[in-house]
Amino acid sequence: MKRPSFRLTCAALAGVGLGLSMPAFAQVEPPHRKPGMWEQSIQLPGDRVMTMQMCINEETEKEYSAMGKKMAGCTQEFQKIPGGYSFKGTCHGKTATGTAIGDFDKAIKVEVDSEGTHMTSNLNYLGPCPAGRKPGDLVMPGGRVVNMKDMPH
């Protein structure tokens, strides 16, 4: 089974699904999460789970979230659906579709299909960013902290 590109998968997981029978996408502003600390659990192929925490504010959400970021060679389309958004993203000839269902203030469930692979991500709001964490900080599996501003993009 082919693995989707990391960039496309990240864009899809952070974005919002499109069924083949859905109508054409309208130009809808992508959703944004409430500022604070979010925990994201990603169900990967092979029953693997990756969990991380992210401290975000409006600026980092707009700058680094795949829902707001315009990446070279990539397009994103969003459509409002009951309970959330559907999305379609194409990056370097590969397409991902999915849905993001939730209120974007407390919890979001993202379902993504790309290149024959299905992934699920659950995001839960934990509250304000704790002392010592600044917007853009990612607490990776194992506790390592990196800031999105220091990562190549």
Q: Give the domain ranges of the chain.
A: 6-150
Backbone angles phi, psi at 14, to 5 degrees: -85, -20
Give pLDDT < 50 ranges for the chain: 1-25
Q: What pLDDT does 153 receive? A: 56
Q: What pLDDT does 108 receive? A: 95
**79: closest CA among 98, 106, 96?**
98
Q: What pLDDT does 118 receive? A: 87
Residues linked to residue 110 through DSSP beta bridges, in sequence order: 100, 121
Backbone angles phi, psi at 148, to 5 degrees: -55, -30
Helix/strand/coil for 69: coil
Q: What pLDDT does 47 receive? A: 83
Q: What pLDDT does 14 receive? A: 39
Residues linked to residue 96 through DSSP beta bridges, in sequence order: 89, 114
Q: What pLDDT does 18 receive? A: 25
